[in-house]
Every structure is written in C-alpha cells, then in structure tokens.
Amino acid sequence: MTIQVGDKVPDFELRVMGSNGPEAVRTGDLLAGKTVVMFAVPGAFTPTCSAAHLPGFVVNADKIRAKGVDSIICTSVNDAFVMDAWGKAHNAEDVIMLADGLAEFAEALDLTQDRTAAQMGIRSQRYAMIVDDGIVRLLNIDEKGLESTSAEAILAAL
C-alpha cells in the first residue's frame, strides 16, 4: 500500500556522495527530529526533472527553509555518482541528493513506476512530501507534470 499522510517513512540505507566517494546514510537519521521536504524524480538529467523540478527547489531553497524546513532532499533511482553530478550541474548545494540506486526506497513507499518498455527499468514516481520527525504530513504525487510536486506547490503548503 502506498505510503499515506500520518505514516512513518521507512528507514532505509541509501547513498550520498561524500568526499571519498559514495557514503551510506539512513533515511531515519535524515528525518529524525526535523521538518524535511523530500521530493522524488523519475530520473536525473531527464527533461522535466532537469528543466523544472530540481531547479525549482534550488531557487526556492531559502524560502522553503524560512518556513521552518530543516533540509530538502531529492531522491531518484540513480547511483550516487549520477545524483552528485546532477546536483552540481544545477548548483544544488542546499539539496541533499539521495541515491536510491536499486529502487528499494521507492518500492517501500509503493511509489514506483515501471519504465522497462522505455529501457529505463523501475523508477520512482514523481512525488513531494513534507515530513515531520519521520511522519508524512503532506504527500503530493504527479503522474504528469509538476502541478502538485513543484517547489512552489510545496512552499504554498508549508
């Protein structure tokens, strides 16, 4: 069943790029005791994700933080090297670029999409959440476009 408002976000080990290469981080640690905006994209360097989704959170990071958000996390079914390169390409220093390389986190949330027909494998759906101390306070999912998952939509909901 898809994660719902009021549910606890599952604790998974994922990867971020550290100074010596990919480093393990736990979602439970990233979310504990904090207000976090977490958004997911189907793939790094893909058109909508690169042209609008990630850039919106980069541009609005200060406004989002001013509403009491401790951190902004972007996750995708890509490896830590790709997520790091994509973040650097978009000056996303204020966004944690979290790699869900095996889609395990997306699967645990029941927020995957099967893109094997397009040679892309299992990917995350496009979503955005506001999470308070590990509990989902808001969950928006967009099947197409960015109507409810954009930085502007999340900023309006904070």
Residues identified as active-site:
49
Spell out the SS3 assignment of 86-135: HHHHCCCCCEEEEECCCCHHHHHHCCEEECHHHCCCEEECEEEEEEECCE
Pick the closest to residue 98 from 69, 77, 124 (CA basis).
77
Question: Going by DSSP bridges, is the β-strand pair 95-99/71-76 parallel, antiparallel, or unpaired?
Answer: parallel
Cβ atoms of residues 132 and 39 within 8 Å: no
Q: Is 33 helix (H, G, I), strand (E, B) or coil?
A: coil
Total residues found in the chain within this entry: 158
